[in-house]
Amino acid sequence: MEQFQHYIDGAFSDGEGRFPSIDPATGAPWAEMPEAREADVDRAVEAAHKALYEGAWAKTTATQRGKLLYRLADLVAANAQKLAELETRDTGKIIRETSAQIAYVADYYRYYAGIADKIEGSYLPIDKPDMDVWLRREPVGVVAMVVPWNSQLFLSAVKIGPALAAGCTMVVKASEDGPAPLLEFARLIDEAGFPAGVVNILTGFGSSCGAALARHPKVAHIAFTGGPETARHIVRNSAENLASTSLELGGKSPFIVYADADLESAANAQVAGIFAATGQSCVAGSRLLVERSIKDQFVGLLKAKAEAIRIGGPLDMATEVGPLATSRQRDHVTALVERSVAAGARLVTGGKALSGDGFYYLPTIIDCDGVASPSLAEEFFGPVLSVVSFEDEAEAVRIANDTPFGLASGVFTQNLTRAHRMIKSIRAGVVWVNTYRAVSPIAPFGGYGLSGHGREGGMAAALDFTRTKTVWLRTSDDPIPDPFVIR
């Protein structure tokens, strides 16, 4: 089996333990991963802390940081295919998706390379005539980054890129499920020439590695992507060091289709929104809200498209839907579909795991009209679409907002004024109109409610990795009077 190592303080090393990584397409081990425990975490954080305050990174200018990021971007682009194949092998995400996504990841690093020397302070027009006062933006400190297994190189880029631009150092915990691409990415960090300790990448389990990282006294900020329950553990652990947090969590995103929409276009977007990445996306459009007058027509169109999807090996460029990442994810999807059908929801298509090797599950559509189905409330993280209908705009808004999550949403309509009303009414961090799943390094994304707080992407993300220092400079040459002499 292939062997991988941690990257700590500019060197590759084994952890205190090792564990096998499972190929989701076969269900068999294919590689061995290093397991970080508390001592490994401490070594990584100490290296990051030293690099921030004592090493070469502390003397690196913003322009030099930008040049290093440009070099990293070029290396990501040059190695995109190898990274894509590793991500596909270790997570089951199909090669046509990983290839396209990782090629675009290079643009995120280029964007933040350009941002590095544009993070500015400000001069304050203070109300005291003998004072000059200004704000400096400085790195927030050592950042702990906890990244999930889905879209691992993308979800790390939206953290690593802005944090490096801001001048931070970091410890990145790759998910124990499919860490290979991030551990390999460490080689590009090394080749790009970042000083030792600036970026440390390791993997391990939540109870031993993740908890130790979140509570470490020298961690100043925690950037996490994952589920709300894990986020609660992270926030509780951060009570030890009072680290600030940015949390990009789950979703039950509404995908709203009105009768006047281009139905073919909307159907294609819905298929991409729920079945791409085998549904393992935080912004998956998992709740279809369709105007009642076109419900049967639109669901019929989706059914035909879902049943035509080519399921196969994730390394085959012809495959359109691959396996789920883990056996427990497949079991979770299976159980939630069964509970929803038992509650009265009607299975339109799919609804079962495939027999044989690997963690495959059929693209599934469930009609939940008039049913309090668990599938409408709980996040699947799998290829399952729940359908409800609505009569008018007010009902569409009510159903869309009937969730504790608020990450993304989609609205399909040709009515411009209605689109603007929906944009204002939907409680979500992203609203796509007549499109879905579009992303850019320029545009921030993040959630409301249980979908977390903070933003990734854009200048907003870089500023999240800074804190302000207020500088007071007295400009008068007159001595400060004795405060205890009354005049």
> Between β-strands 122-124 and 131-139, what pairing exists: parallel, antiparallel or unpaired?
antiparallel
Cβ count within 10 A of residue 450: 20
Place of tokens 């549904």: 279
Place of tokens 């069964």: 338
β partners of residue 133: 124, 472
β partners of residue 321: 311
CA distance 388 to 10: 53
* Annotated active-site residue in 85, 97, 248, 320: 248
CA distance 402 to 397: 8
Query: Helix, strand or coil for residue 58?
Result: helix
Is position 248 annotated as part of the catalytic site? Answer: yes
CA distance 203 to 52: 22
β partners of residue 221: 143, 244
Instruction: Classify residue 372 as exposed, middle or buried by CB count within 10 Å of its CB (0-12, 13-18, 19+).
Output: exposed
CA distance 409 to 426: 8
CA distance 391 to 256: 12
CB neighbour burial string for 404-414, b if at least 16 within 10 angstroms, e if fewer: ebbbbbbbbbe
Task: For residue 382, give both structure tokens.
Answer: 């799998």
CA distance 110 to 68: 10
> Between β-strands 364-367 and 384-390, what pairing exists: parallel, antiparallel or unpaired?
parallel
Catalytic residues: 248
